[in-house]
Structure 1
Amino acid sequence: MQPDDVVARARGCVGAPFRAQGRSVEHGLDCVGLALIAFGIEGQRPRYALRGGEVSAVMAMIADAGLVAVAVGGAAAGDLMLHRAGAQHLHLTIATGDGYVHACGRIGRVVEVRGEAPWVVVGRWRSPEKSSPGGGGGSLQD
């Protein structure tokens, strides 16, 4: 999937209600549900725990979905970002090029925010079509 398609699909979810383990725009999304829709990954119901979860388990889930790891650094439009949003809280966002889309539990819906996300980035992935030559040899930090 091309980066513009990922961003358009993520933006299409803006306004959807937040719901833990949510998988549909109509009934609600969490950050994993948003990522599944944005990257067009259907039929997967990954088991995960972003609160208290282990970074390595979330990274494995993302790799299993077919996304390719790239070096942690500045986000490009269409990248999936894994953040450490708190001591025991991981969070996924979709980079838009000038901001990010995420499922915000505090606001209660999916939102688009301009600028960089305020959380520490621990991993970054993209669709295989957008990956740089050499594939997924990026450095991921824990």
Structure 2
Amino acid sequence: MNADLAAAALNLIGTPFRLHGRDPATGLDCVGLVAEAMRCAGFHPVPPGGYGLRALSVDALVPHAGASSLVPVPDDGDVVLARVSPVQAHLLVAAPDGFVHAHAGLGRVTFLPGPLPWPVAREWRVLSERP
């Protein structure tokens, strides 16, 4: 787990949820959370746009991970893509003892303790060297 990324994500807990949100002052969605945490940790994210809350495939969004200096790993990723339902993917940031994520139902960024309750579709580790 990248400690800088985890700390940046933990600092965003309580930020309002907003679909396609990219500014903590007005709200973040799960993509915005990952992008803002990466930015605050000194990385240069390239977040996707034009996605919906529900989608059968995330393949069109995956190239943004590589452009954001995220490399795929089989497990223990810094950023995790989980399938919360068959038609909804969700990004989370790994933190000590759990995950930080933008929770639409609660309306804010929150901490999810323990292991994920959903299947993991993909995981990435942030490159330790910032671009």
3-state DSSP of counterpart to 2:61: helix
- How large is the RMSD of aligned CA atoms in angstroms? 2.0
3-state DSSP of counterpart to 1:129: coil
TM-score (norm 2): 0.85
CA displacement 1:62-97 (0-9 Å, x = unmatched): 1222211111x3x35xx1000111111110000113
Q: 1:67 aligns with which of 59, 66, 70?
A: 70
43 and 6 in structure 1: CA distance in 2 versus 1, 3 angstrom threshold: closer
Contact preservation (8 Å) 2:13, 2:110: yes
Q: Aligned equivalents of 2:106 and 2:6: distance in 1?
A: 21
User: In the alignment, which residue of structure 2 is the partner of 1:95?
Assistant: 94
User: In the alignment, which residue of structure 2 is the partner of 1:7?
Assistant: 6
3-state DSSP of counterpart to 1:91: strand
TM-score (norm 1): 0.79
Contact preservation (8 Å) 1:94, 1:101: yes
Q: Aligned equivalents of 2:127 and 2:54: distance in 1?
A: 28
Q: CA deviation at 1:124?
A: 0.6
Q: CA deviation at 1:44?
A: 3.9
Q: Does 1:23 align with 2:15?
A: no
CA displacement 1:27-81 (0-9 Å, x = unmatched): 000000000011125574522425115232232221222211111x3x35xx100
Contact preservation (8 Å) 1:48, 1:58: no
User: In the alignment, which residue of structure 2 is the partner of 1:81?
Assistant: 80
3-state DSSP of counterpart to 1:93: strand
Instruction: Give the % identical residues.
Output: 36
Q: Aligned equivalents of 2:46 and 2:123: distance in 1?
A: 20
User: In the alignment, which residue of structure 2 is the partner of 1:35?
Assistant: 34
User: In the alignment, which residue of structure 1 is the partner of 2:103?
Assistant: 104
Q: Where does structure 1 lack aligned partners over 5 or more consecutive residues? A: 131-142
Q: Where does structure 2 lack aligned partners over 5 or more consecutive residues? A: none
